[in-house]
Structure formats: C-alpha cells, structure tokens
C-alpha cells in the first residue's frame, strides 16, 4: 500500500516587508539580504494571527467533507505554540469541525516537528488504511528587531493530509535520521524570541545533511542520479544550496544541472515568505511541485529536514500520477499577489504589539485581517478564535 501526501495547502499572513528596504533601514548593503541570505520578502503576522490560526487557515484550503469525517489524528508540529499544556491540534480540530473520534497532539523538535508528524502519520495509516491524518507545520519565527537573525524571520503554515493511495507524493520506506545534543538554536520557555549561534547553526545544518546523506547512500545503495530533485529545510534560501554543494561533486554534470535547476524552483515561495520553521521544507516542496513544468509521475524527490538542537532526516518520496491536479498553484499565486506591503516602521510596530500576558481582556480588530480564521481577542488568559 502506498502512503503519503494526498493534499497540501499553505497560508501566509497578509503582510510582508521588503528585504531591500529592511536592509537600508539597518544600514546593510541590500545585496547581503537578497543575494548573501537569499530573501526578498518576509511575511509578517498581525496580532490577529498565531500558530493556531495560521495552521487552521492553511488546512481550510484543502479540507473537504470527506476529510472532516475521516480524519482521526491531527498532528500539530510547531515551535511557536500558544500553550505549554494544551495542543494547538485541539484548537484546529474544533475550528475546522473534524469529527470527534480523533487523537490530537502537538509535536516539538524545532523545525523537524512536521517531518516527525508525517512519519508518525505514515505508521498510523499503515495500521489503519482508511484513516486520514492532518499534519500541520505552523510557526511565527521571531529573533528580534535589529538582530542578525531578523533577516531570517517569517510566518506561515503548511497543512497536509496523509493517507493511503495519495494523489501527490508517496513516502518511500527509505529514510536516514540522526540526533545529537547541540546548542545551535533554542528558545527557553520564558523567551518570545529565539537564541541562536548563527554560524554554528549553519555548520550543524550542513554536517547533519552530509551525515544522513552518507548513511542513506550506504543503507540503500543510492546516488544523486536517483533523485530528480532534492528539497531542503530552508531557514533562508542560501542555506540549502550550501548543503547541496557539499555533495554535488558526487554526481555527473547532468545530475548537477538538474538538481541545481530544481533547487532554484524549490526556493521561490520561501524567498517571499521567510523561515516558517516546521513548514519550511514543505513550503519548498510546494514551490517545486507547483512551479516546475518538467516533473513527472515516478520522479523521486529527496527531502532533508533539520530541526536545531538537533534532529536531521533525509527521506525519499515518489511523485504520483496526476499530482499537478491535486495542487492549488493558482490559489497560492493569488494569495501572494493580494498581500500588502508594510513599511519597516509598520513591521516594527506589528512585531512589538503582542497579546497581553497579565490576564487582561482585549478585543482585536478582525476586520483588518482578511484571513477566515483569526484571534478575536483575549479573555482571562484564553485566546478567543473566530
């Protein structure tokens, strides 16, 4: 039985800031941000959006009546969740109206959370072939105004339905994974912003990729020629290419050309959204699948997931017949086109305008947010969703 991604949807908040303008304001050469880092626009979440609403809005785009009746497991991958106890999955389950006989959990391992979710979903479907599993990767990435990490912030969510006989991508039973306790990036529970050892995090990312790729090759006798494309977790779009270049010499000229061309296509969406942590790898996959015109059923895609701290995984998946029809490229293009640019000052104000943490009540202006699902306000430490 094939198991994999049957549906995939994406949602980004409706504000973005232009990276050249951010660079100018920070007194940095814009080419550092657009070429050195490889980012053009950064999605900015208004106060009416959090990891829960972003995930619910992403899922709304793909869920139908059959899903609502058949989903029996909701896995919410996030590292910017809203509660230390209750899972974001329970809120999304309610906001979407999924049938009640379902398990709902939140998973955390930095940007690796959604990949862990997909692999667990695969096991669940293998035991329960009729089941459909909703896997969410949703985050708002915050390093702080004026920090080195600021240029790698972002916000957005990917929602995927994992099922038997998937229409988009079948997950192969080929995977290599690795864990090591490293302090490259972390966010203590008392902090709204992440701490990072930037250069070290880049080194760890590359070293994890090389390690799992080497292991994958040995385990499965694989070569670069087996892969039509490789998608990467993209904290910023220059990161994946640095890792890919470490292994490109192993391939032929044709392998290099093909993998580099597909890499470029796999970065288009990420360049205009930024780091969405758990969803970043799947946003890159979406970019590749929706924007490439030369992929076909049977092509094998490699996926590299990295979550600081750290866990890395390289796994393989195969494109299915008719996968293009199961995607929503036009809808995503429309969503990007309808976003509104904010000035750097407006972005800073939005960044600093956070929900109360002292139990006081607040009502928010949801009319200012075009999203279907928003935070309407707060009451006695509870978020009220609309």
* Complete DSSP assignment for 288-316: HHHH-SS--TT-EEEEEEEETTTEEEEEE
In 86-197, which residue ranges form alpha helices assigned H by DSSP?
A: 88-96, 113-127
Choices 80-88, 235-243, 264-272, 321-329; region in contact with ligand HMG by CB under 6 A: 235-243
**How far is 263 from 374, CA to CA, in rounded Å?**
34
- Site string (66-95) toward ligand HMG, x via CB under 6 A: -------------x----------------
The residue from 93, 124, 233, 262 that is catalytic is 233
Choices 41-49, 53-61, 234-242, 351-359; region in contact with ligand HMG by CB under 6 A: 234-242
Angstrom CA distances, 182 to 209, 235, 242, 246, 307, stand at 15, 17, 20, 21, 11
Site for ligand HMG in 288-307 (CB under 6 A): 306-307
Residue 21 burial (CB count, 10 A): 16
The verdict on 37 binding ligand HMG (CB under 6 A) reads yes
Q: Over 230-257, what HEC string results?
A: EEECCCCHHHHHHHHHCCHHHCCHHHHH
The verdict on 245 binding ligand HMG (CB under 6 A) reads no
Looking at the Cβ atoms of 283 and 375, the one nearer to ligand HMG is: 283
Query: Is there a catalytic annotation at residue 233?
Result: yes
Q: Tell me: is residue 29 an annotated ligand-binding position.
A: yes
From candidates 48, 266, 275, 320, binder to ligand HMG by CB under 6 A:
275
From candidates 15, 16, 76, 185, binder to ligand HMG by CB under 6 A:
185
Q: 182 is written with which tokens?
A: 């490293």
Q: Who's near 6: CB < 8 A, 6+ residues apart?
A: 132, 160, 161, 162, 163, 165, 166, 167, 168, 326
Looking at the Cβ atoms of 185 and 269, the one nearer to ligand HMG is: 185
The verdict on 311 binding ligand HMG (CB under 6 A) reads no
The verdict on 39 binding ligand HMG (CB under 6 A) reads no
Any idea which residue has 């941000």 for tokens?
33
- Omega into 314 within 30° of 0, i.e. cis? no
Query: Is there a catalytic annotation at residue 104?
Result: no
From candidates 53, 87, 131, 152, binder to ligand HMG by CB under 6 A:
152
Reference 308, options 214, 235, 212; nearest CA is 235
Binding-site entries for (3S)-3-hydroxy-3-methylglutaryl-CoA: 29, 143, 242, 275
Residues that bind ligand HMG (CB under 6 A): 29, 31-32, 35-37, 79, 110-111, 148-149, 151-152, 184-185, 196, 198-199, 201-202, 205, 233, 235-236, 238-239, 275, 277, 306-308
């Amino acid at each position: 039985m094939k198991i994999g991604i049957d549906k995939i949807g994406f949602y980004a908040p409706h504000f973005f800031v232009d990276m050249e303008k951010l660079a100018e304001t920070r007194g940095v050469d814009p080419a550092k941000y657009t070429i050195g880092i490889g980012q053009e626009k950064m999605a900015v979440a208004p106060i009416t959006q959090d990891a829960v609403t972003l995930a619910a809005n992403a899922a709304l785009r793909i869920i139908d009546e059959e899903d609502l009746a058949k989903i029996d497991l909701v896995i919410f991958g996030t590292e910017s969740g809203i509660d230390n106890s209750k899972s974001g999955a329970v809120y999304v389950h309610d906001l979407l109206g999924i049938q009640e006989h379902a398990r709902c959990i939140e998973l955390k391992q930095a940007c690796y959370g959604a990949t862990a979710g997909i692999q667990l979903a695969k096991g669940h479907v293998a035991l329960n072939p009729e089941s459909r599993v909703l896997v969410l990767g949703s985050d708002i990435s915050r390093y702080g105004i004026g920090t080195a990490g600021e240029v790698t912030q972002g916000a957005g969510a990917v929602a995927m339905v994992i099922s038997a006989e998937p229409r988009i991508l079948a997950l192969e039973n080929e995977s290599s994974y690795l864990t090591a306790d490293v302090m490259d990036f972390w966010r203590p529970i008392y902090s709204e912003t992440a701490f990072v050892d930037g250069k070290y995090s880049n080194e760890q990312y590359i070293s994890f990729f090389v390690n799992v790729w080497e292991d994958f090759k040995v385990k499965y006798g694989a070569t670069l020629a087996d892969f039509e494309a490789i998608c990467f977790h993209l904290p910023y779009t220059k990161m994946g290419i640095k890792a890919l270049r470490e292994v490109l010499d192993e391939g032929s000229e044709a392998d290099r050309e093909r993998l580099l061309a597909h890499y470029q296509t796999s970065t288009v969406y990420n360049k205009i959204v930024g780091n969405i942590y758990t969803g970043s790898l799947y946003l890159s996959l979406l970019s590749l699948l929706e924007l490439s015109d030369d992929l076909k059923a049977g092509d094998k895609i490699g996926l590299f997931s990295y979550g600081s701290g750290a866990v890395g995984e390289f796994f393989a998946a195969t494109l299915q017949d008719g996968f293009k029809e199961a995607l929503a490229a036009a809808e995503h293009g429309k969503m990007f086109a309808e976003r509104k640019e904010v000035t750097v000052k407006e972005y800073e104000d939005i960044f600093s305008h956070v929900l109360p943490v002292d139990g006081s009540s607040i009502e928010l202006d949801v009319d200012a947010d075009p999203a279907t699902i928003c935070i309407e306000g707060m009451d006695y430490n509870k978020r009220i969703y609309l």
